[in-house]
Copies of this chain bind each other. A is one copy, B any other.
Amino acid sequence: MTATLYVCTTCKVGEVHEDDSQRPGARLHRALEAHGAPEGVRIAPVECLSACKTGAAVALSQPGKWTYVYGHMTEADAPDILAGAAAYAATPDGLVPWRERPVIFRKQSVARVPALTLPLEAAE
């Protein structure tokens, strides 16, 4: 199984661009692709994660794991985002130990949602 790193390509973050490809979300997507997805991760562009107030936003998801959404990401964060995605992919449930998460993931969580296949007792 592969973890998916969704990248909102429509995030504007208050910027105005005539060319949509210059939006912060689209630039973040290109930066992530330029670095390349780590093992066990695929990068997937998405048009709108509905996290417009906290863009640029990314999400990590994989069947059987918690889903995480992170906000206020920039191109400079690409290496940390990919390191965090690799750590996520290596877990059985999506729960990376707190100290092993990139600081941007610790501080810029937008939300997380349990995996539907996990027993609710595991939701902690």
Interface residues of A (CB under 8 A from B): 4, 6, 44-52, 54, 57, 59, 61-63, 67-69, 71, 109-114, 116, 120, 123-124
Q: Tell me which residues across on chain B come within 8 A of A47, comparing CB atoms.
A: 123-124
CB-CB nearest 3 A-B residue pairs: A51-B111, A50-B112, A69-B111
**Copies held by the complex:** 2
Cβ-defined contact, B68 with A67, below 8 A: no
Cβ-defined contact, A111 with B61, below 8 A: no
Shortest A44–chain B CB gap in Å is 6
Q: Tell me which residues across on chain B come within 8 A of A59, comparing CB atoms.
A: 111, 113
Q: A67-B67, A69-B69 are in contact. Are A113 and B48 (CB under 8 A)?
A: no
Q: Tell me which residues across on chain B come within 8 A of A51, comparing CB atoms.
A: 109-112
Q: A47-B123, A48-B124 are in contact. Are A110 and B110 (CB under 8 A)?
A: yes
Output the nearest chain B residue to A47 by Cβ-Cβ distance: B124
Give the contacting residue for A111; candidates B57, B62, B120; CB below 8 A. B57
Q: A67-B67, A69-B69, A114-B6 are in contact. Are A46 and B109 (CB under 8 A)?
A: no
